[in-house]
Amino acid sequence: MRATLRAMEPDRTAPSLRLVDVQKRFALRDVLDGISFDVFPGQVFGYLGPNGAGKSTTVKILIGLLAADGGRAEVCGLDVAKHPLDVRRRIGYVPESAVLYDTLTVFETLQLVGRLHDLDDALIEARMVALLDAFDLGSRMRSRVGGLSKGMRQKLMLCGALLHDPDVLFLDEPLSGLDVSATMFVKEVIRALADSGKTIFYCSHMMDVVERVCDRIVILADGKLVADGTFEEIAALSDETQLEKIFAQITGADDGSERAARVLDALAVDV
């Protein structure tokens, strides 16, 4: 049996994610300083920022792992602070580092995920078989997670995030550890999910991938939004043509060129 996405067409006029003046402060630093945006069904939303800019904090607030100090976060029309469990039923999440139980098998891992989402065992197994087959993990169903490669663990995380057919998928560096073939496949999956009406919230430092995959890009710096639009709209703010160069220019990040030259200078030193 092949698992399929829900046939019901979602309302694409209502935002699936909404942040309204969200604030978060750690010690004496404002990590998020009044962040507001809406994300709609069918969008692949790229969320970028230098390390420490507040990307992970934003995601944790949206998925209910962290409380905002001010403002409001909504997922599928639900206030995250008031309905955290209902929100988690509607989302899938792939963190940057795969957090899995090494002693469980692949089958047991996905069975656990499915049962946590109150799915029937027959549905869990049907979807599991279809997903593992699609991700080239079908032969590993009875393998222990601890024996999987980094790429296989990443694909297992993706299977787990998709198993309950979420409306919103949060992806933090989802291509980490994947080979070229798997990377191409996952990018196609992301596009297909968005085309079916899912919302994809995509965090990554791989600027070339974000440029090609994302419909809309938001750039965060020092807790504030500094750019929001399509790649073409953001490129119009700069005299650069590559997203990584545009990103460095907008955020004031170091593009590394000067320090790279210093490395060569260091190698040229002769005592």
Q: Work out the pLDDT band at 266, boundaries 50, 70, 90.
A: very high
Report DSSP letters for 150-207, one per residue.
HHHHHHHHHHHHHTT--SEEEEESTTTT--HHHHHHHHHHHHHHHHTT-EEEEE-S-H
Q: Work out the pLDDT band at 248, boundaries 50, 70, 90.
A: confident
CA-based radius of gyration for the chain:
20
Residue range 17-267 forms a domain whose CATH class is alpha beta
For residues 209 and 243, the answer to whether their CB atoms sit within 8 Å is no
Most confident of 78-82, 244-248, 258-262: 78-82
Averaged over 86-103, what is the pLDDT?
92
Q: Work out the pLDDT band at 260, boundaries 50, 70, 90.
A: confident
Q: What is the pLDDT of residue 11?
A: 65
Pairing of the two strands 44-48 and 199-203: parallel
Look at residue 71 and give its three-state secondary structure: strand
The share of the chain scoring above pLDDT 90, in percent, equals 73
Averaged over 147-154, what is the pLDDT?
95
Q: What is the pLDDT of residue 245?
A: 87
Domain locations in the chain as residue ranges: 17-267
Report DSSP letters for 103-125, one per residue.
TSBHHHHHHHHHHHTT--HHHHH
